[in-house]
């Protein structure tokens, strides 16, 4: 019996992977959680039937949500990650000795527990003394936050529907800005400019309303609808292309996807993106 | 009844599009030919069950197989296109007034006939006086060619299995070189560095054996396995990044994907590609 698991997006496109075996099937109070061993992408995690990450392509996503921000940040001692319970994003953040404190705010404890057990190959240093994991809603966390401001906030959320919807709206970005140092950086995943072109354009424009600049950049993520994914870099002061060469060179060594040429190239916008954004 | 058409690649990954209706189903002596109206990508062409092109994303492929070569070519009066029976590639070539003669060598006349009828929205100028269409095997065509050398040869073939296999091997590249002016350019589609990483690396290295330089570049093609696709630019003399600014600026206007920033960015190699190529 040939097993396949297909993610169907918007009743218009679907991506299936051949599955060798199921490793975990569960249900939290928020969503269904699956881990499967696939023939092409190694172990893969799906939440609520949508592919999230896999051993084969996770470096594309996790390196690229982190390194454009952390190689260009003027200060990077305090980093907040919202979502990202598989741990790939914090693994990349913790590669910087300059980082002294990372807070991970994940809504769903089951995602972390399942990732620790079944995606241990991700090599996440869950025991790093600089890491503080909180199981909470990221929106409420930032609304109520009154501690030391963060230098960088990374928003590693799922699609803007259901519980994650508020992560892509103006009140949340205003909260994020309030919790950042002046000239701090927010990077958010911002969907596909092809499969979710309206969401993509709306979110980038919403970020532009809260920050002096908000530049989308693009990364191939084979498991996501259309395969062309975006992140957006928002800051009042920092230019993502004026990164620290020495820091970026150090991170380039030991990365599977990221390097300095890719960092620069990722910010190039195809004509259809310029048109979507009216630029 | 919800209709879907899935391309299954290598029994490991599959991409399905929701189909509103079938517009054409046929069989030539070489392959099955399908055109469907999809919900997400407009009309789409599939050959032998594999997605080839669609109204929504065809510009990514066709602009990017053509413009890096034609904006950097020192001479571009004579262009040869092997494959590409849907006509998108020749449409982009014919945008250059400098081009005086284009030969399209397509194996399968049915692909051209079906594309003319069902993909007329591609806007291919099939009646352009500069165009010469031949229905023949591209390998034999180049082996026997003894006419005026070409300035640029574009290889728009299907996957390197079955009849197209020889389009990715050394004897064919040697034929191509013999039919080019000194310092002429070959661009070939060279598969996905993710879904067909072995083929990709082998083909780039084979091109490097025949040409002084062969540089892969990358384009998101949502309909192809993994969504991350490659072309390779091969030449003994021409640097694809030293393109003609004025010519590229002219082409950038009126393009849906291509622009000068994208041209430069496409040649950035992620670390995993550098590793595959041993560079």
Q: For each successive 10 residues of chain B (279 residues), what is the average pLDDT?
A: 93 96 97 96 96 97 98 98 97 98 97 98 98 97 97 94 88 97 97 97 97 98 97 98 98 98 98 95
Cβ <8 Å between B261 and A252: no
Q: What is the pLDDT of residue B159?
A: 87
Chain A residue with CA closest to B218: the answer is A220
The whole-angstrom distance between B65's CA and the closest CA on chain A is 15
> Given pLDDT bands bounded at 50, 70 and 90, which one contains residue A251?
very high
Q: What is the pLDDT of residue B57?
A: 96
Chain B residue with CA closest to A273: the answer is B257
For B262, the closest of A258, A264, A270 (CB atoms) is A270
Q: What is the pLDDT of residue A54?
A: 98
Name the 3-class secondary structure at B34: strand
Contacts of A267 in chain B (CB under 8 A): 265
Rounded-to-integer distance, Cα A130 and Cα B251, Å: 51
Q: What is the pLDDT of residue A5?
A: 95
Is residue A153 within 8 Å of residue A144, measured between CB atoms?
no
Is residue B76 within 8 Å of residue A48, measured between CB atoms?
no
The whole-angstrom distance between B197's CA and the closest CA on chain A is 12
Contacts of B270 in chain A (CB under 8 A): 60, 256-259, 262
Q: What is the pLDDT of residue B279?
A: 74
Rounded-to-integer distance, Cα B173 and Cα B51, Å: 26
Q: Residues of chain A with pLDDT > 70: what percent?
A: 100
B247: number of Cβ within 10 Å: 17
A104 CB contacts (<8 Å, ≥6 apart)?
A: A81, A84, A85, A87, A90, A131, A132, A133, A134
For the cut 90, the answer to whether the pLDDT of residue A158 exceeds it is no
Which of A10, A218, A270, A274 has the highest number of chain B CBs within 10 A, making it the mutation to test binding with B?
A270
For B256, the closest of A8, A259, A271 (CB atoms) is A271
Q: What is the pLDDT of residue A21?
A: 96
Q: What is the pLDDT of residue B214?
A: 98
Q: What is the pLDDT of residue A1?
A: 83
Q: What separation, in Å, do the N-terminal and C-terminal C-alpha atoms of chain A show?
A: 51
Contacts of A6 in chain B (CB under 8 A): 14, 16
Q: What is the pLDDT of residue B1?
A: 83
The whole-angstrom distance between A173's CA and the closest CA on chain B is 29
The whole-angstrom distance between A157's CA and the closest CA on chain B is 22
Cβ <8 Å between B222 and A220: no
**Total-model pTM:** 0.97
For residue A104, list its beta bridge partners.
Answer: A81, A133
Mean pLDDT of A35-54: 97
For A227, the closest of B222, B271, B272 (CB atoms) is B222
Alpha helices in chain B (DSSP H): 58-72, 88-93, 109-118, 138-144, 170-178, 197-210, 245-252, 260-266, 271-277
- What residues of A are annotated to the active site? 156
Strand order across the beta sheet in which B101-106 lies: B131-135, B101-106, B78-83, B150-156, B180-189, B228-235, B213-220
Cβ <8 Å between A272 and B252: no
Contacts of B12 in chain A (CB under 8 A): 17-18, 38-40
Query: B96-113 burial string, b = 16+ CB within 10 Å, else e?
Result: beebeebbbbbbbebbbe
Torsion of CA B227, B232, B238, B240, to 10 degrees: 10
For residue B269, list its beta bridge partners.
Answer: none
Cβ <8 Å between B13 and A258: no
Which two three-digit tokens encode residue B160?
Answer: 């390197």
Angle at A205 between CA A199 and CA A210, to 5 degrees: 125
Rounded-to-integer distance, Cα B207 and Cα B232, Å: 8
């Amino acid at each position: 019996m040939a097993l396949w698991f297909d993610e169907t997006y918007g009743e218009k496109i679907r991506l299936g992977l051949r599955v060798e075996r199921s490793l975990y099937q569960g249900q939290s109070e928020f969503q269904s959680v699956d881990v499967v061993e696939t023939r092409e992408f190694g172990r893969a995690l799906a939440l609520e039937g949508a592919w999230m990450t896999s051993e084969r392509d996770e470096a594309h996503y996790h390196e690229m949500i982190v390194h454009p921000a952390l190689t260009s940040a003027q200060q990077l001692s305090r980093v907040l990650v919202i979502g990202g319970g598989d741990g790939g994003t914090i693994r990349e953040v913790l590669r910087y000795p300059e980082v002294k404190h990372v807070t991970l705010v994940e809504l769903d404890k089951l995602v972390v527990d399942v990732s620790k057990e079944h995606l241990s190959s991700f090599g996440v240093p869950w025991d790093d003394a600089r890491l503080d994991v909180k199981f909470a809603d990221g929106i409420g966390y930032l609304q109520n936050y009154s501690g030391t401001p963060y230098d960088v906030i990374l928003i590693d959320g799922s699609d803007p529907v259901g519980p994650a919807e508020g992560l892509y709206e103006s009140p949340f970005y205003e909260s994020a800005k309030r919790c950042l140092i002046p000239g701090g950086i927010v990077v958010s995943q911002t969907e596909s400019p092809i499969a979710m072109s309206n969401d993509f354009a709306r979110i980038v424009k919403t970020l532009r309303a809260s920050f002096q600049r908000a530049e989308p950049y693009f990364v191939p993520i084979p498991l996501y609808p259309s395969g062309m994914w975006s992140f957006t870099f928002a800051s009042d002061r920092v230019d993502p292309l004026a990164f620290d060469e020495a820091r970026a060179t150090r991170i380039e060594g030991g990365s599977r996807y990221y390097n300095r040429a890719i960092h620069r190239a990722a910010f190039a916008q195809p004509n259809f993106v310029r048109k979507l954004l009216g630029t």
